[in-house]
Structure 1
Amino acid sequence: MKVKICGLRHKKDIEAAVEAGADYIGFVFAKSRRQVSLEEAHDLATVIPTSVKTVGVFVNPSMADVLQAVKDVPLDIVQLHGQESPSFVETLGVPVIKAITLSAGTDLSTVSLYPKNVHFLLDAPGSAYEGGSGHVFDWHAIEPKTLPMGRVFIAGGLNIENVHQAVIYFDPYGVDVSSGVETDGQKDVSKIMRFIAEAKGDK
């Protein structure tokens, strides 16, 4: 089970996540209380080993902005949280995680329109910003067998209490967390370590 810890802004938190077995570290470049600049992300990325993938999170970015971040940080993967089209994703020419916000009437058939190497992230609707709301979407509104779960991350309100259940229900490629490993709006090293252990079954 792959684990992505997102919205990291301090080296100590990244180091703890890496030591605990995180597979992906996410930097948020979109409007968010967790937003970082390219310069900050570049500095933070210096403590991430090559065995851990560095992910940049964007919402409806320009092609130029994404490619600049890929080069400057550098990023291994781009996560797109807006209304980016299949053609935009294909033209980027870099590994992509495409977020899908699940709400009433979400058309999951659009998944098949994206390139076959794209990963997907199922998330709950945001509040002030796209994603990162800490809300859980209705798991039972989705039949896992209808999606390419070998390329799907589950997100949305995951925490140390429910991530194991999410892994069992969906059997996804990976899980993604941000607010679920925070205390008073700040990353909590203890929660990061416990979340990864729960997700990977290393309790």
Structure 2
Amino acid sequence: MVCKINPSLNYIITEIKSKIDILTVVEESNLHLSKRGRNYMGLCPFHNEKTASFSVNPQKNIFKCFGCGISGDQINLYARLHDIDNGQAIYQLSQRIGLTGKRLTKQQKVVISEQQEDRKLEKKFEKEYTQLFNYLCNLQNSMKAKAKKYKEMNHLEKDSLLIHYYHEKAYHEYLLDGLLAGLLEEIDFDQQIDFFELANGVVDNWKNLLKNQKLKGFENVELISY
């Protein structure tokens, strides 16, 4: 059975996130964070550590501890810092922005619907983005394994598939670096879109190429799974 979030609650959560950012929650706490690039780093308040591994991303309104693995958004952080559950955190924060006890208007219901559709599109993009990265990784690893099977250079040069790959190798590595930067949120969304479109074209070309080749040695490699 699929659990569905009540639209009213969904709207309240969205309003909280839009009006109370994660840095506000941090500033109201005893957390001491230092800015490092786009993120803020400091000692994790949820476990003992000597090296800072607690990271806050203000652009995404998320936090993560790379030591103990705890992560979440500003509501989760508020709840943990005040030792309450998420439901209590939502109630307290909704009171702060004056939403408690109010019914949804038609306009608010439209906003909820649009936000749900946006989340679906975002999840679809993230899935396809990851698939492109994995495809190019698999292709790279498979070509390296294939090249190792040749004992002499003149034998390798007779493999048109490998020659084609090595002609594009530098560009493939450039795309992999860009896609990885997107997965790690080191580049902005517009740059992620650029790398997505470039990688998508390369993957489509390789799908067609691999379908038209006699792929001896590729029988057990899932290169055309995307």
Larger Cα-atom Rg:
2
Relative CO higher for 1 or 2, CA cutoff 8 Å, sep ≥ 6?
1
TM-score tier, shorter chain, comes to: under 0.3
Structure that is richer in strand per residue: 1
Q: Structure 2 length normalisation: TM-score?
A: 0.18
